Amino acid sequence: MSNNERKMIKVALPKGRLGDQVYEMLEKTGYECPEIKEGSRKLIFINEEKGVSYFQVKPTDVVKYVERGAADVGIAGKDIMLEYDPDIYELLDLNIGKCRMCVAGPKGWHDDVERTLKVASKFTNIARDFYARKGRDIDMIKLHGSIELAPIVGLSDVIVDIVETGNTLRDNDLEVVETIVPISARLIANKAAFQFKTKEIEDMRDALAKEVQD
């Protein structure tokens, strides 16, 4: 099949370091679009010859573009998938953007099961599911950032959040209480697009798979 007969793949890339890393992988495998590195404020980058266009969106929005078919494929953290449970195909673990979803609290903190546990998080579905499985009553406090502040100032007992290096916890005298699940970036696809553009999407998945490092 010549490039001209190939269907364009629309890729939703998360803005930021993860998106940059994934773009580097795609560039190496022949899906380059040099304009993307020029530092403009453009949000769409198209390389007709390579049959690819990139949208740069907020990491949490990638699943929305893909689920609704505005993008054919995208790159999203497993955390976002667990939190929003989008109706998409998960095609490949890229083994980057690695971190873990944890319960964290002040150093030496112990749970008092007689009391309702106050839990602050951006990931309220993950947190609720985790404690529901334990049969633990919680008071869920949804926050949008600086989650680590909550147990320090007494807004919550613990937090459910992403831990990567552990620096944010350490710098705030907090520690991991329990790991809920390991997280990494995944290549995801819109279900209808995967039927319509199977070859193009599988080629991209296979090319990326060769770049995945253990």
Residue indicated by tokens 């404020």 = 41
- The nearer residue to ligand PRP, 90 or 164, going by C-beta atoms, is 164
Pairing of β 73-77 and β 138-142: unpaired
- The nearer residue to ligand PRP, 91 or 185, going by C-beta atoms, is 185
Candidates 49, 87, 164, 173; binder of ligand PRP (CB under 6 A) is 164
Using the CB atoms, write b or e for 67-98: b if 16+ within 10 Å: beeebbbbbbbbbbbbbbebebbebbebebbe
**How many residues bind ligand PRP, per CB under 6 A?**
12
Candidates 5, 165, 210, 213; binder of ligand PRP (CB under 6 A) is 165
Candidates 161, 180, 193, 194; binder of ligand PRP (CB under 6 A) is 161
User: At 35, which helix (H) or strand (E)?
Assistant: none
Stretch that binds ligand PRP, among 36-44, 135-143, 165-173, 202-210 (CB under 6 A): 165-173
In eight-state DSSP terms, residue 115 is S
Q: How far is residue 194's CA from residue 187's CA, in Å, rounded to a whole number?
A: 12
Residue 201 Cβ, how far from ligand PRP at the closest point, in Å?
A: 28
Candidates 4, 167, 210, 213; binder of ligand PRP (CB under 6 A) is 167
168 touching ligand PRP, by CB under 6 A: yes
For residues 161 and 123, is the Cβ–Cβ distance under 8 A? yes
83 touching ligand PRP, by CB under 6 A: no
Residue 16 Cβ, how far from ligand PRP at the closest point, in Å?
A: 9
> Which residues lie closer than 8 Å to 65 by C-beta, 6 or more apart?
12, 55, 57, 71, 74
- Cα angle 91, 97, 103 (rounded to 5 degrees) comes to 105
- The nearer residue to ligand PRP, 47 or 168, going by C-beta atoms, is 168
Residue 26 Cβ, how far from ligand PRP at the closest point, in Å?
A: 23
Residue 151 Cβ, how far from ligand PRP at the closest point, in Å?
A: 13
4 touching ligand PRP, by CB under 6 A: no
162 touching ligand PRP, by CB under 6 A: yes
Q: How far is residue 138's CA from residue 142's CA, in Å, rounded to a whole number?
A: 12
Work out whether the CA dihedral 37, 96, 73, 84 comes out positive or negative: negative
| Residues numbered 120-159 forming contacts with ligand PRP, rule: CB under 6 A | 145-148
* Residues binding ligand PRP (CB under 6 A): 145-148, 161-168
